[in-house]
Amino acid sequence: MYRWAIIGLGCLLSGLAWAQPVRVSGRFERDTLKVGEPVVFTLTASYPATELLLFPDSAFAFAPFELVRKQTYPTHLQNGRLHDSVEYVLRTFAMDSTQSLALPVFQVIPGDCVQHTAARDAVALSFVVRSLPDSLAPAQLPVKITADYLPIKKRLNYPLWGLVGFGALVLAGAATLFFGRPLWRWLEERKWQRRHRLFVQQFGEAQQKHLAAASPVGVESALRVWKQYVEQLTGKPYTTLTTREVLGLGDEELREPLMQLDRMIYSGRAVAESQPFEQLRTYAERTYHQKLEDVRHG
């Protein structure tokens, strides 16, 4: 019998503990708001110090509102009761003129929980545009028309120009690989053709002066033009060599014309004779054609 009395007393004390009231309230910080504008909803709870309460978190459905963030405040004890407060920053995009919200708190009990919901609080939606007509004439539109152009800073398209440069390098490399040597031969051939035409002109003018005046000066001029040109063709220093040194190079066909021209220069008695000049011209012509063959097949 004592056992049942103890059990009954425990149930009574437990029931009295659970029967202690949990007071919950929730309210908006203001009465009106605009679409998308943040508004603070404050949820407070007062409950016995022996109880455990849970407040809604980000997983809770705040419809027709959506949660932006929340701010919690420290719990404080007063007269044996705990006081908690949480601020929820909400916003709405619904178009209803009046929107309300009631948030609960959850009291944890053994094996279950009890929901305590605050009284519903409402706010009025403030509309910026009161009425929207179906259509407006262009003259009635609140738009300022201007024909001014806004300057746009031009930017270099680095990827595009990089691809263009790379493509140019590839084409240049391919052209050099397949056409480089033929192109070089063609350019070399044109260069020697220009030099030969210049030699023929200058040597012919010097020869004509010699034949007209029969002077050692004309002979020296023609011989200098010939040595400069043959030096370019062969790479041998003809302009710095004497006749004896030139003959020492092994060109015996030059012996007779060079000896004759030396006699004209050093004796001071030049004669109007064209044979040694023609022999030098023939030698230059043959050396020139040999140079062209070397370039074409080199």
What is residue 30's predicted lDDT score, i.e. its pLDDT?
93
pLDDT tens digits, residue range 249-297?
A: 878 888 888 888 888 888 766 666 778 888 999 999 999 999 888 888 8
Residue range 52-68: average pLDDT?
94
Given a cut of 60, whether residue 1 has pLDDT beyond it is: no
CATH of 21-125, one of 2.60.40.740, 3.90.1300.10, 2.40.30.130, 3.30.470.20: 2.60.40.740
Whole-prediction pTM value? 0.43
pLDDT tens digits, residue range 124-172?
A: 998 776 665 566 566 666 666 666 777 877 788 888 889 999 999 888 8
What is the band of 63 on the pLDDT scale with cuts at 50, 70, 90? Answer: very high
What is residue 6's predicted lDDT score, i.e. its pLDDT?
33
pLDDT tens digits, residue range 197-216?
A: 999 999 888 888 877 767 77
What is residue 154's predicted lDDT score, i.e. its pLDDT?
79
What is residue 17's predicted lDDT score, i.e. its pLDDT?
42
User: Quick one: three-class SS letters along the chain?
Assistant: CHHHHHHHHHHHHHHHHHHCCCEEEEEECCCEECCCCCEEEEEEEEEECCCEEECCCCCCCCCCCEEEEEEECCCEEECCEEEEEEEEEEECCCCCCEEEECCEEEEEECCEEEEEECCCEEEEECCCCCCCCCCCCHHHCCCCCCCCCCCCCCCCCHHHHHHHHHHHHHHHHHHHHHHHHHHHHHHHHHHHHHHHHHHHHHHHHHHHHHHHHCCHHHHHHHHHHHHHHHHHHHCCCHHHCCHHHHHCCCCHHHHHHHHHHHHHHHHCCCCCCCHHHHHHHHHHHHHHHHHHHHHHHC
For the chain, give every domain's residue range: 21-125, 178-297
